[in-house]
Amino acid sequence: MATGATADIKWWGGGRSPFNVEYGKVMMWYFLMSDAFTFGAFLISYGTIRFSQNYWPDPNHVFNAFPFAGHANLPLAFVSLMTFILIISSVTMVLAVHAGHHNDKKGVIKWMIWTIIGGFAFLGCQAWEWTHLILGDHEVLINGTIEKIGTTVTRNPWGAEVLHNGTMVATPGPVAFGGYFFGITGFHGFHVFSGVVINIIMLLMAINGTFERRGHYNMIEKAGLYWHFVDLVWVFVFLCFYLV
């Protein structure tokens, strides 16, 4: 094979880790890959059902509220806020990992605290959005009478509009809408929640000096991978539920 005196390292020649990655990190990557398939399957299933319907609610019509803004029509506004919260918390996480590479305990603690705050902010936003959707009362024509319903896994007030007694009134939309929305954002929210818990544990370990004694901050890196994955999934949840 190679005969010249090149700088090529024989990664597979034995005596070293061919991927040159620590075991825990390799396994975190493979876990995240399998998790990507789980989320992918959910989102593709949602896509299939959505494609099979003649009518699907317009996200700009459903998600147009903002806290303390009353009934103002603000499509995309709140979800943009949530997206930016998650991007920023992802950035603070990279900075924590970066501080870890420099064995900078103070830096790790500072950036982990910001990341945790970002996680809680995102969860708070999601809690508000869910509450708003579930408790919302929208006039819907059901069996010839007008009822006021919210969005749940069994009810969808965002169907096509029909003429009823001279005014346009919504009919019940496909129930799959609520099921997929709450199912997938809930599964993502659960990931955010577990990520926050992991980050808090990492923060406590950093404060206790566990990593300092170990001589490396690899655990922060692994927690960081999980946290970025949560942000990555949100890119696609944001795409599938709010943008298109």
Partner 1 sequence: MNTHSPEVTFHHEPQEGQVKKIIKTTILLSVITIIELILGFVIYYMNKGEAPSTTLILFIKGVIVILSLLKAFYIVGVFMHLGDEIRNFALTIVVPLLLFVWFIAAFLWDGDSWKNLRNTVGGSKPYPQQTVAPKDAKKPGVE
Residues 220-239 that bind partner 1 (CB under 8 A): 224-225, 228-229, 231-232, 235-236, 238-239
**Between vectors from CA 124 to CA 97 and to CA 45, what angle results, nearest 5°?**
85
DSSP 8-state symbol, 15: S
C-alpha to C-alpha distances, 5 to 2, 9, 16, 36, 121, nearest whole angstrom: 8, 11, 20, 42, 55
Which residues, in sequence order, are CB contacts of 207 under 8 Å at separation 6+? 109
Residue closer to partner 1 (CB basis): 38 or 131: 38
15: left (phi over 0), alpha (psi -120 to 50) or beta: left
Tell me the closest approach of the beta carbon of residue 3 to partner 1, in angstroms: 22
Token pair belonging to 29: 């990557």
Provide the mask over 7-36, with x wherever binding to partner 1 is found by CB under 8 A and - wherever it is not: ----x---xxxxxxxx---x--xx--x--x
The verdict on 173 binding partner 1 (CB under 8 A) reads yes
The verdict on 50 binding partner 1 (CB under 8 A) reads yes
Residue closer to partner 1 (CB basis): 72 or 243: 243
Contact 123, 193 (CB under 8 A): yes
* Residue tagged 């490396």 (tokens): 216
The verdict on 123 binding partner 1 (CB under 8 A) reads no
Residue closer to partner 1 (CB basis): 65 or 93: 93
The verdict on 40 binding partner 1 (CB under 8 A) reads yes
**74, 76, 109, 117: which one binds partner 1 (CB under 8 A):** 76
Contact 148, 137 (CB under 8 A): yes
The verdict on 98 binding partner 1 (CB under 8 A) reads yes
The verdict on 49 binding partner 1 (CB under 8 A) reads yes
**87, 127, 146, 197: which one binds partner 1 (CB under 8 A):** 87
**35, 66, 101, 126: which one binds partner 1 (CB under 8 A):** 101
Centre a 10 Å sphere on the Cβ of residue 117 and count the other Cβ atoms it contains. 15
CA gap 133, 150 in Å, rounded: 6
Provide the mask over 133-172, with x wherever binding to partner 1 is found by CB under 8 A and - wherever it is not: --------x--x-----------x--xxxxxxx--x--xx
